[in-house]
């Protein structure tokens, strides 16, 4: 079932909004870090979209210029059209925006305290772990395709070892995909 071929009930739209509302508070390092949980909810649990639709939603939004969070709107659109996009974007943006504004003001006033410094230092490994989980999920469809897996490994190495813009790596991946190598 896809969002464009059938409309969700108001209760389902509310559940979609509520799920993204909760995920907003867990999105340390950006909304992309909660992609595995989004996938579990919309693909595995509710079967509103397929795995390929989910991965495509993330890929197309990440390739487009603009904020990193655009993939949330594309997922919502694929689940339930414009109302799905509204539900997911409002859910993901509302709590994190309010909390960020409050925490920034509070932290700025106390930036030299041990607690604030310890908190900001401790968030780095958490963010890294969430980003790795997202990368693992997004690389899943490439499993079983040697060319794609080679491209994933090369991307990781180039990103870690050089200062080359990630856009060049994305361009190489797009060319490899278009040529049928991945």
106 part of a folded domain: yes
Q: In the chain, which stretches have pLDDT less than 70?
A: 1-6, 182
Q: How far is CA 165 from CA 4, 42, 98, 154, 168, in A?
A: 35, 32, 32, 14, 6
What is the per-residue pLDDT for 40?
97
What is the per-residue pLDDT for 1?
45
163 part of a folded domain: no
What is the per-residue pLDDT for 177?
79
71 part of a folded domain: yes
- In this prediction the pTM is 0.61
Q: Where are the alpha helices (DSSP H) in 8-140?
A: 10-26, 35-39, 51-63, 70-109, 114-139
**Residue range(s) defining the domain that contains residue 71:** 10-122
Number of structural domains (the chain) is: 1
What is the per-residue pLDDT for 137?
82
30 part of a folded domain: yes
What is the per-residue pLDDT for 164?
87
What is the per-residue pLDDT for 2?
46
The CA distance from 42 to 142, in Å, is 20
2 part of a folded domain: no
């Amino acid at each position: 079932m896809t969002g464009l071929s059938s409309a969700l009930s108001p209760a389902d739209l509310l559940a979609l909004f509520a799920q993204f509302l909760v995920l907003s508070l867990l999105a340390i390092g950006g909304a992309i870090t909660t992609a595995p949980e989004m996938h579990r909810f919309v693909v595995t649990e509710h079967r509103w979209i397929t795995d390929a639709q989910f991965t495509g939603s993330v890929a197309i939004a990440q390739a487009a210029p603009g904020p990193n969070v655009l993939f949330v709107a594309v997922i919502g659109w694929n689940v339930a059209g414009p109302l799905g996009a509204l539900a997911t974007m409002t859910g993901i943006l509302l709590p994190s925006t309010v909390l960020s504004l409050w925490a920034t003001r509070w932290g700025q006033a106390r930036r030299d305290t041990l607690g604030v410094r310890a908190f900001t230092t401790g968030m780095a490994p958490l963010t890294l772990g969430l980003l790795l989980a997202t990368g693992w999920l997004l690389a899943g469809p490439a499993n079983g395709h040697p060319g794609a897996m080679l491209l994933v490994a090369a991307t990781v190495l180039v990103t870690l070892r050089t200062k080359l813009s990630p856009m060049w790596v994305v361009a190489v991946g797009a060319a490899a995909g278009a040529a049928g190598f991945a």
